[in-house]
Amino acid sequence: MIALFLMPVLVFTWIFSVLKKERDLKKVLPKEIRVSKIISTYEKIGLGEGCGITIYKISPHTIGQINKQGLDFFKNLKVARGSELLEKQSPYYFYQDWRKTPIQENKNNKNFWFGLSCVNQKDLNKSLFEKIIQEANEANSYYTGHKEGQLVVIPSMRIVIFAYSG
């Protein structure tokens, strides 16, 4: 009898935790970058701060807008969804100006490669890993960052990547 009562509670708790995790992973994205799903997420936490990446599938509508407008699409996209949930401003949800790739590192914009280095080819599909590296080094994509992480939009792959270290 107790099992009949506990089973729906456990199922509800599991569904709630999955939906909360998905919402939390989307907090780093500007709301104008709509995504249809999370493709992969990988995180490594040690004694110090963690690092990792999350790869999102961009919605067809957003890809259409990016392909139509290019860099202009990103002109005002400096605030992530998560900033709306805070009473005080956190630098974690505010980005620098967007640029075209290849990624040029600076003191506040260096974490894409660190975050990607957390993932090795057994943690992420090898061809996906290699394609991300290739596209980030060519002039076909867009990126921004803050001192803890970077967003990279790769229109040809219809993905956005959040990579972080810190």
What is the sign, positive or negative, of the torsion defined by CA atoms of 92, 93, 96, 99?
Answer: positive
**What is the residue-averaged pLDDT of the chain?**
80
| Short-list 126, 96, 124, CA closest to 111 | 96
| Range 39-62 average pLDDT | 86
The DSSP annotation for 34-51 comes to: -EEEEEEEEEE--SS--E
Burial of 20 (0-12, 13-18, 19+ CB in 10 A): exposed
Cα of first residue to Cα of last residue in the chain, in angstroms, is 48
CA dihedral (129, 132, 136, 140) in degrees, to 10, reads 160
| 131-142 pLDDT per residue, tens | 988 998 898 999
Amino acid identity, position 97: D
CB neighbour list of residue 134: distance below 8 Å, 6 or more residues apart: none
What tokens does 129 get? 């890993």
> Which among 53, 50, 100 has a CA at the least distance from the CA of 74?
100
The pTM of the full predicted model, rounded to 2 decimals, is: 0.81
Quote the pLDDT of residue 70: 97
- For the chain, what percent of residues have pLDDT higher than 70? 72
Q: What is the pLDDT of residues 105-123, one digit of tens each?
A: 766 666 677 777 777 655 6
